């Protein structure tokens, strides 16, 4: 969970806009929270000028760093089987997200938007809290393949939201998949219903920043603990995915299949142990490992089992292991 935007901008002013970490200066504001957190309402406008003014320099620097990092770990540079782009991703007021469907969803079903539980407009759910079927009229900016906003989608309700065991929120929209496809030519991203594997080439696609991070699944954290929250079987990225504030809720896409395997949510910023913005890994024996600068996501393969006909949430369905209220 990222530091507040004000702190990031202050750090940039001290370091100078040309410093290598300049990309973090554009991070959206955050309550003490995970990977994207909620920016103050006036924050995007106040820092947008800085981000735009340095956009080319930042992009060039990031691309150089990613190229260097991927070369170091021997990442294959050939084109992936599926060209990952921004189509189907969304921008929120404080986070990233995506329009998603289950493997068995019908085109006539109301569409769903997935983001993090810590991105809820009501603030972070408490440890142990699960929110279901709560009325919501939240809006989302729908992006096309080039990252251009082509529509505003609206929620009818929050179907599910929690920061317990995982960090996920799923909003039901007023539009169906077929309506979105007919109006904007954009398909939803499909959630994979099988667990990802170590070494998988992945892309973290941020609708908030219109930026794609490429790396691999480095491994998994048996438990990932951050402040009051604990998440199970979290995905750990290789270092090339140096995600920043505003990327919370981004879909993590398997480059080979184009399917979503996780939702981006946090990273250890300062090397602290198990504190907010500094998650730690805890193994089955209780041993704690801190990996400063490494980022994480929450697996999503368990979600399809909890949605039935009509994309209706049913936590009592066979195979559904999501936490219940």
| pLDDT tens digits for range 13-23 | 333 333 332 23
3-class SS at 230? Answer: strand
Bigger pLDDT: 66 vs 45: 66
Take residue 27 and report the two structure tokens written for it: 């991070």
For the entire predicted model, the pTM comes to: 0.79
The CA-atom distances, in angstroms, between 256 and each of 81, 117, 121, 223, 260 are 5, 27, 33, 27, 11
* Helix 43-53 × helix 5-15 angle, to 10°: 30
| Mean predicted lDDT score pLDDT of the chain | 82
Q: pLDDT at residue 274 above 90?
A: yes
Bigger pLDDT: 79 vs 168: 168
Rounded to the nearest angstrom, the gap between the alpha carbon of residue 271 and the centroid of all alpha carbons in its chain is 21
Residue carrying structure tokens 């292991």: 321
The CA-atom distances, in angstroms, between 159 and each of 58, 75, 115, 130, 133 are 37, 38, 12, 11, 4
Angle (CA) 231-276-288 rounded to 5° is 60
Confidence (pLDDT) at 189: 98
Confidence (pLDDT) at 72: 38
Dist. CA 118–CA 124, nearest whole Å: 5
Confidence (pLDDT) at 63: 43
Dist. CA 1–CA 279, nearest whole Å: 9
Angle (CA) 26-296-63 rounded to 5° is 45
Q: What residues pair up with 290 in beta bridges, in sequence order?
A: none
Take residue 22 and report the two structure tokens written for it: 């300049």
* Confidence label for 250 from pLDDT (cuts 50, 70 and 90): very high
| pLDDT tens digits for range 52-94 | 333 333 444 444 444 444 333 333 333 445 689 999 999 999 9
Angle (CA) 200-202-208 rounded to 5° is 160
The CA-atom distances, in angstroms, between 131 and each of 128, 148, 166, 321, 323 are 10, 32, 13, 15, 10
Please name the residue ranges forming H helices in the chain.
5-15, 43-53, 55-72, 177-184
Give the residue-averaged pLDDT of 230-256. Answer: 98
End-to-end CA distance of the chain: 24
Q: pLDDT at residue 151 above 70?
A: yes
CB 149 within 8 A of CB 143: yes
Give the residue-averaged pLDDT of 200-211. Answer: 98
| pLDDT tens digits for range 300-324 | 999 999 999 999 999 999 999 999 9
Confidence (pLDDT) at 263: 98
Give the residue-averaged pLDDT of 247-258. Answer: 98
Dist. CA 215–CA 71, nearest whole Å: 11
Dist. CA 71–CA 65, nearest whole Å: 10
CB 269 within 8 A of CB 278: yes
Take residue 194 and report the two structure tokens written for it: 């099988």
């Amino acid at each position: 969970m990222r530091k507040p935007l004000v702190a990031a901008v202050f750090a940039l002013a001290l370091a100078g806009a040309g410093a290598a970490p300049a990309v973090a200066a554009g991070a959206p504001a955050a309550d003490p929270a995970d990977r994207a957190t909620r920016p103050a309402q006036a924050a995007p406008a106040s820092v947008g000028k800085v981000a735009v003014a340095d956009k080319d320099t930042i992009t060039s620097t990031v691309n150089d760093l990613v190229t260097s990092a991927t070369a170091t770990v021997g990442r294959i540079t050939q084109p992936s089987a599926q060209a990952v782009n921004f189509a189907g991703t969304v921008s929120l007021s404080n986070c990233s997200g995506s329009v998603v469907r289950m493997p068995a969803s019908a085109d006539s079903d109301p569409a769903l938007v997935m983001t993090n539980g810590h991105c809820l407009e009501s603030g972070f759910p408490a440890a142990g809290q699960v929110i279901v079927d709560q009325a919501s009229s939240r809006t989302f900016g729908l992006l096309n393949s080039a990252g251009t906003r082509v529509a505003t989608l609206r929620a009818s309700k929050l179907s599910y939201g929690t920061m317990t065991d995982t960090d996920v929120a799923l909003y039901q929209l007023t539009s169906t998949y077929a309506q979105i496809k007919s109006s904007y030519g954009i398909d939803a991203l499909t959630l994979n219903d099988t667990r990802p594997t170590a070494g998988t080439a992945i892309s973290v696609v941020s609708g908030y920043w219109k930026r794609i991070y490429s790396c691999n699944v480095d491994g998994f954290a048996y438990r990932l603990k951050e402040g009051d929250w604990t998440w199970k079987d979290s995905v750990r990225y290789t270092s090339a995915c140096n995600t920043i504030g505003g990327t919370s809720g981004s879909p993590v896409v398997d480059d080979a299949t184009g399917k979503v395997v996780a939702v981006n949510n946090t990273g250890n910023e300062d090397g602290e142990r198990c504190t907010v913005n500094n998650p730690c890994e805890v193994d089955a024996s209780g041993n704690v490992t801190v990996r400063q600068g490494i980022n994480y996501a929450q697996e999503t393969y368990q979600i399809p089992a909890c949605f039935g006909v009509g994309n209706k949430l049913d936590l009592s369905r066979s195979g559904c292991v999501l936490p219940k209220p």
